[in-house]
Amino acid sequence: MGEGSTDVAWTRRSALGLIPALALAGCAGPGGTEAPLSMWAMSYEGDYSPLLMPAFTAATGVPVEVQSLPTTASHEKLLTAFAGGAMPDVLMLFNGWVQEFATIGAIAPLPSSDLVADMFPGVLAATRFAGRDYAVPWSVAPQVQFYRRDILGEAGYDSPPEDWDGWRAMARAIKRRRPDDYVFLMLLNWPNGLITMLSQAGATMLRDRNTRGAFQTPEARAAFAYYVSLYTDGYAPMALSTEVQDPVAAFATGYCAVWPSGPTTLKDFARRADLLPRTRWATARLPGPHGAGPVSGLSASLCVSTQSKRPREAWALVRHLTSIESELRYQRLIGNLPARVGAWTAPQLAAPVLRPFADQMRQPAAAPPVIEWEQIQTEVQFAAERIVRGVQTMDEALAALDRRVDGLLAKRRALVEAGRIA
């Protein structure tokens, strides 16, 4: 399916479904003077969203202005916009932010459950609050392990193992042959690897109705111990992303043989195929204590602001952007994966390199449903770095982590104890 055929499919078929949502009789047609809808999005999604708008405007007569926000400043900008009554009609939120924005009343609940029909069930968990859906999953990015087929082959492996003991055995075999290089490209300020290990080990991470830290449990200790050992045994570099600024080059040159990463890395590899030929690498699911399990990833959804004066048009835009046709086009553009099960029958998603992603879509890691989760992840990573660098012992770091998390959750704890939230 070419990109042009995607737009035709939308115009001829999907536009008909907008009629009841848009009440087109009240909208300006093409060439009218209807003010544009506003949409804010981040990262690749923000940069490439304008390419999805012409089909919507052609079908509905509603123009759309997209503002691409810098990821690092987007959370604060969105909160400031809400406080100032200047929210866009449609906004992208990383899934970890949805419950926060629903709690403060910044986003509206879905007007119809059919907007989230045919979604992978696990993807919806992060977009629900108080029993209602507040966002439509849009861009899904589970992690898998990218691996150098040639380097693993030299060590006697066709593919990486899917259990922790096997991963370490493979690392030993690779390190014996390549003592000056590393095995795993896992940098100390990348949180997803450790969060995934905690989930796979069965660590709940929070306790007492998600009001206190739970990082001193046997499960959490096992995950931290395994993660730390990859650094202290020399299998992963004790480095930050500021010290390894070109991870694609690091992977291509054999500095590391295994890179846990998301689907946008596929696009990075395609753009630099001269440096990293396609025959040298493949993908597999990430390992767990006893086999592949739930995996953390950075995924995003679309929401409609409670400040939008045109909610019907805004939801129609969300419907367009999350349609199978639009999701497949987006997959070709940026690499992130469709959240709709029906999209996965498309030929473009049949490539073997995508199979581990498809398997992982059915088993995402569930993050604790608290608005402080993003800050908690940062504290988890700081604690792990202190252990890796020998600044604190495991006992000291995990006890301090629980105290910091307890402090972050103090307001939530007071609300729960007062019966104001569940």
Indicate whether 49 pLDDT > 70.
yes
- In degrees and rounded to multiples of 5, residue 358 shows phi and psi of -60, -40
254-263 per-position pLDDT tens digit = 999 999 999 9
Indicate whether 368 pLDDT > 60.
yes
Most confident of 56-60, 69-73, 330-334: 56-60
Indicate whether 15 pLDDT > 80.
no
**Are the C-beta atoms of residues 135 and 303 closer than 8 Å to each other?**
yes
Sign of the C-alpha dihedral computed for residues 158, 163, 169 and 172 taken in this order = positive
398-417 per-position pLDDT tens digit = 999 999 999 999 999 999 99
**Are the C-beta atoms of residues 293 and 197 closer than 8 Å to each other?**
no
Q: Which of 90, 14, 95, 91 is nearest to 325 (CA)?
A: 14
Please provide the average confidence, as pLDDT, over all residues in the chain: 90
**Are the C-beta atoms of residues 283 and 353 closer than 8 Å to each other?**
yes
Continuous segment of H or E residues that includes residue 173: helix 164-177
CA distances from 248 to 43, 126, 175, 267, 357 (A): 18, 30, 20, 11, 19
Q: Would you state the torsion angle of the CA atoms of residues 402, 419, 108, 120, taken in this order, to the nearest 10 degrees? A: 60
Q: Would you state the torsion angle of the CA atoms of residues 52, 56, 59, 62, taken in this order, to the nearest 10 degrees? A: -140
Indicate whether 73 pLDDT > 70.
yes
CB atoms within 10 A of CB 316: 27
Judging by beta carbons within 10 Å of its beta carbon (0-12, 13-18, 19+), is residue 421 exposed, middle or buried? Answer: middle
Return the pLDDT at 297: 75
DSSP state, residue 116: G
More reliable by pLDDT, 385 or 99: 385
Q: What is the pTM of this model?
A: 0.86
Indicate whether 125 pLDDT > 90.
no
88-114 per-position pLDDT tens digit = 999 999 988 898 899 899 999 999 999
**pLDDT (mean) for 342-357:** 94
289-312 per-position pLDDT tens digit = 999 988 877 789 999 999 999 999
* Angle (CA) 229 143 215, round 5°: 45
Return the pLDDT at 6: 38
Indicate whether 20 pLDDT > 70.
no
pLDDT classification of 167: cutoffs 50, 70, 90: very high
Return the pLDDT at 44: 86
Bridge partner list, 39: 66, 90
